[in-house]
Amino acid sequence: MRPFSYNTAAELFPAAIRKKKRAGFAYRRFGTAAEAVRFAIEELPADSLNGAYLQVEEARFDQSGIRSLYESDAFPLPRRPRPAARTDDKADAA
Protein backbone atom coordinates (compact mmCIF):
# COMPACT_ATOMS: atom_id res chain seq x y z
CA MET A 1 0.00 0.00 0.00
CA ARG A 2 1.28 3.45 -0.93
CA PRO A 3 1.78 6.06 1.78
CA PHE A 4 -1.00 8.65 2.00
CA SER A 5 -0.34 11.93 0.19
CA TYR A 6 -2.02 15.02 1.57
CA ASN A 7 -1.10 16.84 -1.67
CA THR A 8 -3.40 14.73 -3.87
CA ALA A 9 -6.76 16.13 -5.04
CA ALA A 10 -9.73 14.89 -3.02
CA GLU A 11 -13.51 14.77 -3.12
CA LEU A 12 -15.82 15.07 -0.13
CA PHE A 13 -19.24 13.47 -0.45
CA PRO A 14 -22.21 14.15 1.87
CA ALA A 15 -24.07 11.46 3.73
CA ALA A 16 -26.92 9.87 1.83
CA ILE A 17 -29.89 11.07 3.88
CA ARG A 18 -33.20 10.52 2.15
CA LYS A 19 -35.49 12.05 4.77
CA LYS A 20 -33.73 15.39 4.68
CA LYS A 21 -33.56 17.51 1.56
CA ARG A 22 -29.99 18.55 2.32
CA ALA A 23 -27.20 16.84 4.21
CA GLY A 24 -25.79 20.19 5.36
CA PHE A 25 -23.31 20.41 2.51
CA ALA A 26 -23.03 19.41 -1.10
CA TYR A 27 -20.30 17.49 -2.90
CA ARG A 28 -17.02 19.42 -2.91
CA ARG A 29 -13.76 18.90 -4.72
CA PHE A 30 -10.51 20.12 -3.16
CA GLY A 31 -7.09 20.75 -4.66
CA THR A 32 -5.45 18.82 -1.84
CA ALA A 33 -6.58 16.13 0.57
CA ALA A 34 -5.22 18.25 3.43
CA GLU A 35 -7.70 21.04 2.59
CA ALA A 36 -10.55 18.54 2.37
CA VAL A 37 -9.66 16.95 5.71
CA ARG A 38 -9.40 20.31 7.44
CA PHE A 39 -12.74 21.44 5.97
CA ALA A 40 -14.45 18.22 7.06
CA ILE A 41 -13.21 18.41 10.65
CA GLU A 42 -13.22 22.15 11.27
CA GLU A 43 -16.11 23.43 9.18
CA LEU A 44 -18.74 20.70 8.90
CA PRO A 45 -21.31 20.24 11.64
CA ALA A 46 -20.92 16.86 13.35
CA ASP A 47 -24.19 15.54 11.89
CA SER A 48 -22.99 16.37 8.37
CA LEU A 49 -19.67 14.62 8.92
CA ASN A 50 -21.43 11.48 10.16
CA GLY A 51 -21.98 9.37 7.05
CA ALA A 52 -19.90 11.57 4.75
CA TYR A 53 -16.82 10.17 3.08
CA LEU A 54 -13.61 11.46 1.55
CA GLN A 55 -12.25 9.95 -1.63
CA VAL A 56 -8.58 10.37 -2.48
CA GLU A 57 -7.66 8.56 -5.68
CA GLU A 58 -9.02 5.02 -5.10
CA ALA A 59 -9.10 5.23 -1.29
CA ARG A 60 -12.22 6.12 0.71
CA PHE A 61 -12.26 7.42 4.27
CA ASP A 62 -15.28 7.54 6.56
CA GLN A 63 -15.70 9.86 9.53
CA SER A 64 -13.16 8.03 11.70
CA GLY A 65 -10.70 7.79 8.80
CA ILE A 66 -10.99 11.52 8.14
CA ARG A 67 -10.45 12.25 11.83
CA SER A 68 -7.37 9.97 11.86
CA LEU A 69 -5.91 11.84 8.90
CA TYR A 70 -6.51 15.16 10.68
CA GLU A 71 -4.92 13.98 13.93
CA SER A 72 -1.91 12.40 12.20
CA ASP A 73 1.54 13.86 12.84
CA ALA A 74 1.90 14.02 9.05
CA PHE A 75 -1.04 16.45 8.64
CA PRO A 76 0.62 19.44 6.93
CA LEU A 77 -1.76 22.32 7.73
CA PRO A 78 -2.16 24.27 10.95
CA ARG A 79 -5.05 22.99 13.03
CA ARG A 80 -7.68 25.21 14.60
CA PRO A 81 -6.89 25.60 18.29
CA ARG A 82 -9.19 23.61 20.52
CA PRO A 83 -11.39 25.72 22.78
CA ALA A 84 -10.10 26.05 26.32
CA ALA A 85 -12.02 24.31 29.08
CA ARG A 86 -14.82 26.58 30.19
CA THR A 87 -15.10 27.51 33.83
CA ASP A 88 -18.44 28.59 35.19
CA ASP A 89 -18.07 31.24 37.90
CA LYS A 90 -21.74 30.86 38.90
CA ALA A 91 -21.18 27.21 39.83
CA ASP A 92 -18.30 28.26 42.11
CA ALA A 93 -20.49 30.84 43.88
CA ALA A 94 -23.21 28.33 44.81
Average confidence (pLDDT) over 53-75: 95
Nearest to 66 by CA among 48, 82, 83, 84: 48
Question: Is this structure's pTM higher than 0.85?
Answer: no
**Side-chain-facing half-sphere of 30: CA atoms under 13 Å:** 21
Nearest to 37 by CA among 15, 59, 14, 61: 61
Side chain identity at 80, as an amino acid letter?
A: R
Give the gyration radius of the chain's Cα atoms: 16
Give the chain's mean pLDDT: 83
Pairwise pLDDT comparison (83 vs 73), residue with the higher score: 73
pLDDT for residue 90: 52
